Amino acid sequence: MRLYPKGYGGQRRHPEQVKREGWHEQHVLAVSLDDPRLTWPERELVRQLGEKLYGKLPVLREVRHER
């Protein structure tokens, strides 16, 4: 008998393991646009899905330091 629920206590799981288990158990997919395992068309598909479901990414602007 466990004294704690799955995921609590014991050793920490690697983030990739958490993502894999989320996909297998809950059908949830966590994907980074910067994942080197993805090809350009796959990244573009992920970006388009993210924008459709959650809106466009904020535009990152570089900060200029003036003297």
Please give the pLDDT value at position 26: 95
Q: 1-38 pLDDT, tens per residue? A: 667 777 677 778 899 999 999 999 999 999 999 999 99
Domain membership of residue 29 as a residue range: 15-52
Structural domains counted in the chain: 1
Question: Is 28 contained in some domain?
Answer: yes
Q: Is residue 44 part of a domain?
A: yes
pTM over 0.75: no
The string of pLDDT tens digits covering residues 28-63 is: 999 999 999 999 999 999 999 999 999 998 887 777
SS (H, E, C) 1-67: CCCCCCCCCCCCCCHHHHHHHHHHHHCCCCCCCCCCCCCHHHHHHHHHHHHHHHCCCCCCCCCCCCC
Whether residue 41 is contained in a domain is answered as: yes
